[in-house]
Amino acid sequence: MHQGEDLGRWVQAQRLGWDRLTTVQQWMCEQILGITHATEEEKPKPRRTQADKWAMSYEAARQFYEREGHLRVPRQHVERIVVGDGDGEDQEEREFRLGAWVGNQRSRAATLSPERVEQLSAIGMRWV
């Protein structure tokens, strides 16, 4: 901290926002302050959108359906799926509260897009 400014936070903001700096600002950071841009590994992963979250939950539902042959998921059921790219580099196992999600989709049937209703119906969703 210097004069109320968190210098560590400022340096991090410059490194992560390198592409938004002007060429002169980049030069000054590098040549005068010794600050370089953040590497791809240092940058935070982008946040998942609601559409991404829905797609992953749907994938968990599809996996459950393929294994069990139905979509009558107990309310407390947690489904584990592997998410990430196909080559194994950035894959991770995630847990989804599938029972609660399926129940929520049923209760929101009137507001779901026709595409989502069709997708869920195709894997055995019972709407009542």
Residue 67's H or E segment, with its range, is: helix 50-68
Q: Classify residue 66 as left (phi > 0), alpha (psi -120 to 50) or beta.
A: alpha
Residues 6+ apart with CB under 8 A from 19: 37
pLDDT at 41: 87
State both tokens at 65: 């359906």
Number of C-beta neighbours around residue 8 at 10 A: 9
Asked whether the predicted pLDDT for residue 24 surpasses 90, the reply is yes
Place of tokens 């560590």: 8
Tell me the mean pLDDT in the region 23-40: 94
**How large a percentage of the chain has pLDDT more than 90?**
75
DSSP reduced 3-state for 92 = strand
pTM: 0.63
What confidence category does residue 108 fall into, taking pLDDT thresholds of 50, 70 and 90? very high
- Each residue of 37-96: pLDDT tens digit? 999 888 888 888 999 999 999 999 999 999 999 999 999 999 999 877 656 566 788 899
Mean pLDDT of 30-41: 93
pLDDT of residue 87: 62
Q: Which residues of 76-86 are buried (b: 16+ CB within 10 A; e: fewer)?
A: ebebebebeee
